[in-house]
Amino acid sequence: MKYLQQETVTKRMHSRLKMNGLWKTLFILATSFALLALAVLLFRILSQGAGYLNFDFITNFASRIPEKAGIKAALIGSLWLMAIVAPVSIILGVSTAIYLEEYAKKNKLNDFIRMNISNLAGVPSIVFGLLGLTIFVRLMDLGKSILAAGFTMSLLILPVIIVAAQEAIRAVPNEQREASYGMGATKWQTIVRVVLPAAIPGILTGSILALSRAIGETAPLVVIGIPVILQFLPTGIMDSFTALPMQIFDWAKRPQEEFQYVAAAGIIVLMTVLIFMNSIAIFIRNKFQKRY
């Protein structure tokens, strides 16, 4: 008696394997589509902007004449913005993470804070712009200053930094804390001298990635209404300023074709800054991150 009809099995197996092969190709194609999109995007912007990218472009102010337009004010403005966003968002974010991971007891209030943070991460950036416009620009009367924009951006990336710092702190094994307590250290001593040093690479990596998001973010700046064409550099945090994405947005909107190339050159500068920041983040992650 035969239990297996070899012929039928081979036949059915053949078609099933064929299906498998076909779908595998489709899945690979789907993956390649994403990679291809990135390649086309980068190539397109490089080929459009390379012609306008030179030393003058970096050192000139914005201009009505495409050939003379430069990105100096925007580049310096973005650096000023980071000078506010980095300390404010990292101090607030890491403090919140320490509170949630080391101090917060399991109760309704702390659950609410956690839920609130994850919901805040999903609020569109333009809504943060409305918040900044109402609270910082008008209510606190900071005007369209670096400080007002910096506070707005800090709140926008705060949830990202909190989550990254929480993960980094959670990754520090409890044995290290207990060893520290065992030596007679207090809770705060343990956090400052044991937990934070171990968590710093993770915190830094997450913070840099969050900051690079803040550099590329446009919508909140548009809503706050920061100016685009500036012929001077800011000298303090209460001065008005412009930023890289804002400048690119203005160029991209202009009808003259030449400004498209200027916009592309601006994008190259922006992307270079982002790639630089991301490489630092990856470097820190690979060099200093310990796995327990």
- By rule CB under 8 A, what string of x and - marks binding of each residue 41-80 to other proteins? x--xx--x--------------------------------
Q: Which of 11, 63, 67, 188 binds other proteins (CB under 8 A)?
A: 188
Residues 229-268 that bind other proteins (CB under 8 A): 245, 248-249, 252-253, 260, 263-264, 267
Q: Which is nearer to other proteins, 86 or 235 (CB)?
A: 86
**Residue 119's beta-bridge partner residues?**
none
Q: Which of 70, 150, 159, 206 binds other proteins (CB under 8 A)?
A: 159
Q: Which is nearer to other proteins, 198 or 263 (CB)?
A: 263
Q: Which is nearer to other proteins, 163 or 235 (CB)?
A: 163
Q: What's at 132, amino acid-wise?
A: G
Q: Which of 71, 84, 85, 117 binds other proteins (CB under 8 A)?
A: 117
Q: How far is the CB of 235 from other proteins (least distance, A)?
A: 26
Q: Which of 85, 148, 223, 265 binds other proteins (CB under 8 A)?
A: 223
Contact between 222 and other proteins by CB under 8 A: the answer reads yes
